[in-house]
Amino acid sequence: MADRRAEAVRALARNLGHDFRAPDLLEQALTHASVGEGAERDARGRPFLDNQRLEFLGDRVLGLLVADRLVRDFPEADEGDMSARLHALVDKAACARVAERLGVGPAIRLSPGEAKQGGRRREGVLGDAMEALLAAIWLDGGIEAARKVFDHAWQPEFAANPKKALTNPKSALQEWALKQGRALPTYNIVQRTGSDHAPTFTVEASVAGYPPLTAQGRSRQDAEKAAATALLQREGVI
């Protein structure tokens, strides 16, 4: 299993096209928070550093790179249009799609429990790791290195001309439900899995008269937004 993951990490590095001067940054970007709860340690006996801090930085790095690209690619677009495009290109679903194309899933270091629960395929886990990787590349090689990887990795997202993302899907679902003469939507947690440090919430969104729909997120709020968005998409509203 360790050899398989090592090969996956090497394949990911090739797909990224960045030669890390500090390989520890790559390992940290690929280490899920669940690993810290076990006894696993690195070759020097130190606890593994997880990718949460890098994910925090990577979220900002991604936002900057997308905003810069939009300003250059759409000189006639107004702020509202660019904001909508930005949200669609930086959301967790977009990051997870990029991660899947690069082969991030097999390279992620997870606790055995998280791995058994399908963590390598979870949108939140993949998206967070992708953001952490951008931060690691930024720290390792600077902004131009991060931009090079970003331009290559996100090109399919730009080419797909993504739909404008909703800034507040719960409000949009509420407005739609009222227009249909229905009561306000309701949200219920149907499952909570994972560790205290890296939980996954499954939430069911319901509008009277329509089949309910469930979605997952790293927080209750994220899961509610994902469920609201999915319900609006299913009903053809967006």
From 205, 177, 173, select the one nearest 189 (Cα to Cα).
205
Tell me, yes or no, if 131 is annotated catalytic: yes
42 annotated active-site: no
b/e per residue, 208-235, with b = 16+ CB within 10 A? eeeeebbbbbbeeebbbbbbbbbbbeee
**Identified catalytic residue from 131, 157, 204, 222:** 131
Coil, strand or helix: which one is 118?
A: coil
Closest by CA to 48, choosing from 27, 26, 63, is 27
Q: Which residues does 167 contact at the CB level (< 8 Å), separation at least 6?
A: 83, 84, 87
Q: Which of 27, 50, 55, 59 is catalytic?
A: 59
Q: How far apart are CA 31 and CA 9, in angstroms?
A: 11
Could you say which DSSP state residue 41 is in? B
Catalytic residues: 59, 131
